[in-house]
Amino acid sequence: MAAHADLALAEQCRAHLPGAFEQLYRAHAPRLFGLACRMVGRHEAEDLLQEVFLTAHRKLGMYRGESSLGTWLFRLATNHCLDHLRSKRARFAALTDELETEPVAAGASSGAVVGVVDRMDLERALASLPPGCRTVFVLHDVEGCEHQEIAALLGIADGTSKSQLHKARMRLRGLLGSAGGVRGSN
Amino acid sequence: MTTCQDTESRLTLFVDGDLSADERAVVAAHLDACAGCRGVARDLERLRRTAGALGPVTPPDHVWLEVAGQIGAPGPRAWVRRATTDPRVALRQWLGLAAMLVVITLSAYVVLRTTRQDPAATAGNAAATGSVQALTEELTSAMHHYENAITQLEALAKGDSQVIDPVVAATLQQNIQTIDGAIAESRSALGQSPENEPARESLFEALKSKVGVLQATVNLMNQMRKGDQAAAAEAAAAFGKKS
């Protein structure tokens, strides 16, 4: 159940109490913007964040408090990002399919050693992953979602979520092991 | 004895603690004996830890301003101090400007796109000279339109600036100053090299951003003016409940 404060804030937003929706925005926008930046890229994340909060404003009447407002908004934002990626994928289907089916290149004996992982390098490397495994990595490793939850969000099997995560980590390991290339790609 | 290949495919599950006790013991035994796989496991663990520490990202201020402007701004009503301008006049001015901006943005987009897609326009041969000149003129014209729109929007935004809270106004001013810096830099680069396409695109982007911030400002002011009576009644009711 959502906390009493969430229900109260949702009620204030529905009643158009001055400042209520801004309070909701200030509390949740940074996390949702981080999610969108990592899933679709910073350039498009601003538009998506706007869309998410406009949708939230329209749909707040449907919020019944079964989950926290943060979770409700997170699902809304994830779905917006996924819709965006799907429409993009439809436009570039051939290229994306090729990337998605490419096997993991880095092997255990490849010698790529990450060392201390710099956050900025990781953000840059993330942007170069194919959307499928990047989405799973962001949801699992950055946002802390469980595979079951990710599978439900993406409409895939738990096992697929696990294998995509492994693929993402191994690719990132390879990219960060040759960090010069990663820096040059962005 | 398991192979490195068998082990590697299970390393993500291993570092996440998603293996059964038996499977975990098998992988652990391999890692004890294999420095290569141990290194991979260590890297994956570091990646996982670093990813988990990636924090939220603060969005730029104009995103909220856009949202507030589009939802009829129950939030920004808290910023309303007083409304002095006839809302009908402000709305008419705004609608006129909005229509003009759509036309300008479309024409700038078409011109920039044409410049990128027409190799003849950049080949420098005699046949293309006329078209290059025409495009340059159109770009200059589009730029002037942007500048005119900015001048008018600035006048509107300054006309009744008291309706916006000073803190918000200061943030808007800061954004405008940053964009003005970008505009000056792009203009300087174009001054040195008029054919510099990235500089031209940067200039258009910066002008577009400035129009966006000013649009958001004026939109916000109009929403405040339009909603004044209802907002006042609403606020009075809310205060009544609180007291």
At A116-154, the pLDDT tens digits run 678 889 999 999 999 999 999 999 999 999 999 999 999
Mutation to test the B interface, candidates A50, A134, A139, A148, most B Cβ within 10 Å: A50
Contact A21 B71 (CB under 8 A): yes
pLDDT (tens digit, 9 = 90+) per residue, B193-203?
777 777 777 77
Percentage of chain A with pLDDT > 90?
A: 62
Percentage of chain B with pLDDT > 70?
A: 48
Q: Are B230 and B77 in contact (CB under 8 A)?
A: no
The residue behind tokens 């255990």 is A108
Among the ranges given (A68-77, B84-93, B161-170, B197-206), the one the predictor scored with the smallest mean pLDDT: B84-93
Q: Is the pLDDT of residue A181 over 50?
A: no
pLDDT (tens digit, 9 = 90+) per residue, B26-82?
999 999 999 999 999 999 999 999 999 999 999 998 899 889 888 875 433 333 333
Tokens standing for residue B198: 């990235």
* pLDDT band at residue B184 using 50, 70 and 90 as cut-offs: confident
The CA distance from B210 to A174, in Å, is 41
Contact B71 A54 (CB under 8 A): yes
Name, in order, each residue with C-beta under 8 angstroms of B140's C-beta and a sequence gap of 6 or more: none
Contact A144 B48 (CB under 8 A): no
How far is B38 from chain A, CA to nearest CA, in Å? 9
Contact B78 A112 (CB under 8 A): no
How far is B70 from chain A, CA to nearest CA, in Å? 8
Q: Are A68 and A2 in contact (CB under 8 A)?
A: yes
The residue behind tokens 């994340």 is A45
Chain B residues within an 8 Å CB radius of A172: 47
- Please, which residues 205-234 of chain B have a Cβ atom closer than 8 Å to chain A? 231, 234
